[in-house]
Structure 1
Amino acid sequence: MSTWVEPAGILARGTVIVLTGRGETASAYQRFARRISADAYRVRIVEVDESLAPESTRAAIDEIVAGGDAPEPRILVGSDTGAALAATLVDDVPVDAAVLAGIALPTASAAVPVAAAETALSWDDEIEARSACPAHRKVLTTDERFRRGALSVPLTPDLSVVPPSKPTLVIHGTDDPVTPADQVVGAFSGRPRTRVRTVVGGRHDILNDVSHRSVAATIVLFLESLKLGADLPDIVRVPGA
């Protein structure tokens, strides 16, 4: 489990627990963790096991909270199946909110063959589906522990995602070929205490795509709103709105 802490001399504003997606290791989220921790949120990265079992992920979250160094509010941030796990678990674990980034929906009709284990993506197809960011592509390509072809692994029935009741930010790329954006918008829009944001041209690894700075800024705005209340009051607004 990897940890990034707030800058020295600054009081931590909360804890962000990142759940990785299919094939990923903590290496994929170092840039994200550095950026969020620089804004004084403590970041813990949980490498989700390949079984995608909610029980083992729940145990990891409980361990972080029980350790005594996870200041509130506590937020689950998940990508791909990590986002599906976050949505599955958030209402039942000791956290306050969730960020679902590039969520893998079990019902998604994807343009890439994620539903059939026997149909493996080529590496070129997988990297195209994941991200257009050259830096992130290099991270994935050089990570010896990254499991190529993971997007072809079928989703477990345990990940039958029900929109959470706790405050939730859903952020998704409009050009995500793994989980079509219209399915995500349709599943989460209009839900209480839920904000849905789409990233123009974004692909599946939306935390690590070319718009990663804007995505991180959107997440920080959500975190700061959460600190004001579970109804997510706006901090920055259009005059007269």
Structure 2
Amino acid sequence: MAVDKVAVWDNPEGLNPRGTVVFIPGRGEHPGVYERLGTRLGADAYRVRVVGDPTLDADGVTEQVRALWSDDNLPGPHVLAGSDTGALFAAGLVATGVVTADALVLSGLPVTGPTAPPADWEGELDARTNCPTHRDRLTDDGAVRRGALRSAPPSDWFGLADPAAIGVPVLGLHGADDVVSPLDAVRDWYAKVDAARLVGLAGTGHDALNNQTHRSAAATVLLFLERLRGGAEIIRDEPLR
């Protein structure tokens, strides 16, 4: 199966790019699903590229990422990001050294097979998102593969995504109400990463970047990117007296 064409969001004209985020979608998704996130990060001068669904063509997506990292027009820091199985795949690429990155952003990371597979499309929507706009988009989008959340991630991806083998900073974004990959189930995984921050989003399901909390999620990602560029101490809590 041919891999999806890479989606592109760039920094505004007149602003120098501040880095590059390559994003890997999850089960059933395609690059255009992340237009909202790409537009937001692009407006803050990050170059965003969204590749295909690796559950359909893992080798093709790996080559897409490698090609983007070799593009001289995409400056560092280079951040590899993903949602759902895209997050698991991204973690595996970095943990095994298949690709390199300066950091990882992982949203809705699955660490086991489906814990509560949705029975129908309405159930899948409920598991994914409570954002009315995003629910309508998914429903009206013929390129979104319905029922994808009923399929387990490839079993070997769990072993490849060894958290102890990841040597770059990791930001985890996870919905507190995620029934596909419950928040409590992922805590141990992030605890094994040398430098990780796990952020729980209240009132949020599996698609942590596309729920009603999507503005808070995007702001959290942006803050992580800025700290990566400027150092951990760029933002400090100052004493009041």
Instruction: Calculate the TM-score normalised by the size of structure 1.
Output: 0.89
Segment drifting more, 171-180 vs 82-91: 82-91
1:99 aligns with 2:105: yes
Tell me which residue corresponds to 2:137.
139
| Cα displacement (A) at 1:10 | 0.3
For 1:107-156, what per-residue CA distance to the aligned partner results, in whole angstroms no more than 9, with x for missing partners?
A: 2562x22xxxxxx6301100000000011111101111100000011211
> Any idea what SS the aligned residue of 1:159 has?
helix
The letter for the 2-side match of 1:210 is: Q
Q: Conserved in 2, the CA contact under 8 Å of 1:25 and 1:145?
A: yes
Residue in 2 that maps onto 1:37: 42
Which amino acid is the alignment partner of residue 238 of structure 1? D
2:238 alignment partner in structure 1: 239
| In structure 2, C-alpha distance between the alignment counterparts of 1:50 and 1:157, rounded to whole Å | 11
Distance 1:189 1:108, change over 3 A: farther
- More deviation, 195-204/63-72: 63-72
1:65 is the counterpart of 2:63: no
Runs of 4+ off more than 6 Å = none
Counterpart secondary structure, 1:208: coil
Shift of 1:190: 6.2
Q: What is the identity percentage for the equivalent residue pairs of Structure 1 and Structure 2?
A: 40
Q: How many angstroms apart in 2 are the aligned matches of 1:149 and 1:104?
A: 16
Matched, 1:12 2:14: no
Q: How far off its partner does 1:194 sit? A: 1.0
The equivalent residue for 1:185 is 187
Report the aligned-residue RMSD: 1.8
Structure 2 equivalent of residue 117 of structure 1 = none
- The aligned residue for residue 86 of structure 2 is 82
Deviations 1:56-85 (A, max 9, x none): 322111111223221100101100000001
Where does residue 175 of structure 1 map in the other structure?
A: 177
- Residue 166 of structure 1 deviates from its aligned partner by 1.0
Deviations 1:184-240 (A, max 9, x none): 1222136322111111121000110110000000001100111134xxx14333335
